[in-house]
């Protein structure tokens, strides 16, 4: 019976002793895991990324704008030809078109002959130039003769004075005839022809003239445009016009194209029909990507108004768990910072609280950080 009691006590005590010895190591990892869980909750807004991972994800970092450009004023606009780069070549006299030297799209240089007009008026002008030249030659010959005779004391001084006066008058008459002919475009290869020349270098964008037709004076023959620079015409409200000044930048966008220009003119008057203010900006078009008459969107970069507004790109703002956040750079990656946003101006968003303006925030591909933050939340669950 003594053996039976001893065996029963052994069967009970041995498992208890073994269980007590193993309880220490099993509870420690459990406590460690609980501690790690509490740390993970503290860092729930952190995204850990290396510099290489940030570069591979195409994430760019920048400091918010503080008291600088507070946004952009976006308005519809229209591409127009530069007023100095568009010229109409008109007939200076009436007559028949006997030559048209350029077609649509062809390049021209300044002074190139574009058309030749044959007319009686051209013949009269050319004849007057030739007659004035002949009279001047005769007057100069008479002057030389009188100068010789006066030196030989054969002719009186009054004859010399009269000859000199006649020569001067003949010279004036020739210059006047030449200027009258030049005002019509100059000679066209014959006494009855006048050449119409291009006033600027560019390319032909319109040619309403038809070879052989009879045209009146001032009829449009060609339209030549130098489109290496174009103008942007927009209309803004009087309130916005007070913030748009000559010299500020304007970003022009249309159909996958984007380019920056400069405001050159803000009208001091309201348009009678729209009661808006016209704004003109210049845009480089050396590549020929902008076409006259094309509708575009113009975003005028407004200057600071003197406050300390903080502006961030709209691509930097994300929505995470019903919170509006931006991602600030940390030594180990990024941290989501809750912010309160205000008005939106173009591609900029005003942040009214949450940022000091000294943070380095993710300005591009911040949606990647939002996705990484979502993965971390799923792992914790």
Per-residue pLDDT reduced to its tens digit, 180-192: 877 776 666 677 8
Q: Check pLDDT > 80 for residue 248.
A: yes
Domain count, the chain: 4
- Digit-coded pLDDT (tens) for 307-348: 667 888 889 999 988 899 999 999 999 999 999 988 776 677
Nearest 5 degrees, angle CA 50-CA 54-CA 60? 140
Question: pTM of the entire structure?
Answer: 0.50
| 146 & 232 share domain | no
Q: Residue 145 is part of which domain span?
A: 120-189
Are 346 and 284 contained in the same domain? Answer: no
At residue 195 the predicted structure's pLDDT band, cuts being 50, 70 and 90, is confident
Close Cβ partners of 26 (under 8 Å, ≥ 6 residues apart):
none
Higher-confidence position of 101 and 255: 101
Q: Indicate whether 285 belongs to any domain.
A: yes
Per-residue model confidence (pLDDT) at position 325: 94
| CATH number of the structural domain spanning residue 97 | 2.40.50.100
Higher pLDDT residue, 25 or 317? 317
Residue with tokens 């000294």: 358
Spell 211-232 as b/e; 16+ CB within 10 A means b. eeeebeeebebbbbbbbebbbb
113-132 pLDDT tens trace:
999 998 888 778 888 888 99
CA 94, 95, 99, 105: dihedral to nearest 10 degrees?
A: 30
Q: Name the pairing type of β-strands 257-270 and 249-254.
A: antiparallel
**52, 109: one domain:** no
The CATH number for 55's domain is 2.40.420.20
CATH number for the domain including 165? 1.10.287
Contacts of 21 (CB under 8 A, 6+ apart): none
């Amino acid at each position: 019976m003594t053996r039976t009691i001893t065996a029963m006590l052994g069967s009970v005590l041995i498992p208890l002793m073994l269980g007590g010895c193993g309880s220490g190591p099993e509870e420690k990892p459990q406590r460690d895991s609980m501690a790690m869980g509490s740390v993970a909750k503290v860092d729930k807004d952190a995204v850990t990324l290396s510099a290489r991972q940030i570069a591979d994800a195409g994430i760019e970092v920048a400091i918010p704008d503080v008291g600088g450009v507070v946004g952009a004023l976006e308005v519809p606009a229209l591409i127009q030809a530069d007023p100095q780069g568009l010229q109409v070549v008109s007939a200076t006299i009436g007559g028949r078109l006997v030559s048209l030297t350029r077609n649509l799209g062809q390049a021209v240089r300044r002074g190139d002959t574009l058309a030749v007009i044959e007319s009686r008026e051209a013949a009269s002008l050319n004849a007057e130039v030739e007659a004035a030249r002949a009279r001047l030659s005769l007057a100069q010959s008479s002057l030389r003769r009188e100068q010789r005779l006066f030196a030989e004391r054969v002719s009186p001084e009054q004859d010399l004075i009269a000859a000199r006066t006649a020569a001067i008058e003949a010279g004036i008459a020739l210059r006047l005839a030449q200027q009258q002919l030049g005002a019509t475009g100059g000679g066209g290869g014959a006494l009855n022809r006048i050449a119409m020349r291009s006033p600027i270098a560019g390319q032909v964008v319109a040619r309403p003239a038809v070879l052989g037709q009879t045209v009146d004076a001032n009829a449009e023959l060609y339209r030549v445009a130098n489109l290496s620079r174009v103008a942007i015409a927009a209309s803004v409200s009087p309130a916005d016009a007070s913030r748009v000044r000559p010299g500020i930048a304007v970003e022009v966008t249309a159909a996958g194209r984007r380019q920056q220009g400069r405001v050159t003119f803000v009208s001091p008057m309201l348009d009678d029909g729209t009661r808006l203010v016209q704004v003109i900006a210049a845009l480089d078009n050396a590549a020929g990507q902008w076409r006259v008459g094309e509708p575009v969107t113009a975003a005028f970069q407004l200057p600071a108004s003197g406050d300390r507004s903080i502006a961030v790109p709209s691509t930097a703002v994300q929505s995470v768990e019903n919170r509006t956040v931006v991602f600030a750079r940390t030594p180990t990656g990024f941290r989501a910072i809750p912010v309160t946003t205000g008005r939106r101006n173009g591609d900029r968003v005003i942040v009214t609280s949450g940022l000091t303006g000294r943070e380095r925030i993710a300005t591009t591909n911040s949606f990647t950080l939002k996705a990484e933050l979502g993965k971390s939340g799923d792992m914790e669950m």
